[in-house]
Amino acid sequence: GESVGLHLPTLSVQEGDNSIINCAYSNSASDYFIWYKQESGKGPQFIIDIRSNMDKRQGQRVTVLLNKTVKHLSLQIAATQPGDSAVYFCAVAKGAQKLVFGQGTRLTINP
Amino acid sequence: DAGVIQSPRHEVTEMGQEVTLRCKPISGHNSLFWYRQTMMRGLELLIYFNNNVPIDDSGMPEDRFSAKMPNASFSTLKIQPSEPRDSAVYFCASSRQGYEQYFGPGTRLTVT
């Protein structure tokens, strides 16, 4: 089966700096990758997703990079703001249905 | 647009009691997912439905757990009888099949 791991359980950055959150997965057959943001007391909020036929996708202030060779996924947040403080989860699946979640990285923004 | 709606938001019950969690997916979504989140195990998929049909229930912990989706706008997750180790936050999510899943606010269940 699939397993998903994150490189750092916590990350602290200065407001205005860029943040990079990393994720590794095990199953080379996985073809769908997604990032969620979870604030305290709330459900996971969709940020951005990418499929295996792409290696980069950009949204508003966020970029997801996919390296299928080393089975690595990253989320880049540009010019971090206090509202970006949350736990960030990556999830992986084959076919976008049966998501397997990582343990999450808690991002703290320092003023 | 209304997101995924879950009720109740909080449930406190005694061991042995039946618990029913409810979910209304986003209109137009044809896939529905039930997850459980704990500190120890993180977010785990329990079961999911496509077009109201259960597709994969391999994540359901044991026979005490059951889920139904009688129509496209309603699903329930039932625990009978409940045990203290069932204490967790239960999330419902919905999607158009094959696309991103949107989560509800969750139900925090405490079994004493």
On chain B, the residues whose CB falls within 8 A of the CB of A97 are: 31, 48, 50, 55-56, 97-98
Contacts (Cβ under 8 Å, ≥6 apart) of B70: B52
End-to-end CA distance of chain A: 41
Q: Tell me which amino acid residue B97 is.
A: Q
Chain segment B16-73, per-residue pLDDT in tens: 999 999 999 999 999 999 999 999 999 999 999 999 999 999 999 889 999 999 999 9
Mean pLDDT of chain A: 95
Cα(A80)–Cα(A71) distance, integer angstroms: 26
Residue B82 contacts A where some CB pair is shorter than 8 Å: no
A108 strand-pairing partners:
A12
Chain B, nearest residue to A92 by Cα = B100
DSSP B52: T
Alpha helices (H) in A26-102, listed in sequence order: none
**At B1, is the pLDDT very low, low, confident or very high (cuts 50, 70, 90)?**
low
pLDDT > 90 fraction of chain B, expressed in percent and rounded? 94
At residue A52's C-alpha, the angle toward residues A47 and A54, to 5°, is 75
Residue B70 contacts A where some CB pair is shorter than 8 Å: no
> Which of A39, A50, A97 to mutate against chain B (most B CBs within 10 Å)?
A97
Chain A, nearest residue to B97 by Cα = A97
Chain segment A37-47, per-residue pLDDT in tens: 999 999 999 99
Q: Are A34 and B100 within 8 A, CB to CB?
A: yes
- Give the phi and the psi of residue A82 in degrees, each rounded to 5: -55, -35
Mean pLDDT of chain B: 96
Beta-carbon pairs below 8 A across chains A and B:
50
Chain segment A61-88, per-residue pLDDT in tens: 999 999 999 999 999 999 999 999 999 9
CA distance B80 to chain A (A): 25
- Give the phi and the psi of residue A59 in degrees, each rounded to 5: -125, -160
8 Å CB contact between A63 and A56: yes
Chain B, nearest residue to A95 by Cα = B98
Chain B, nearest residue to A31 by Cα = B98
On chain B, the residues whose CB falls within 8 A of the CB of A90 are: none
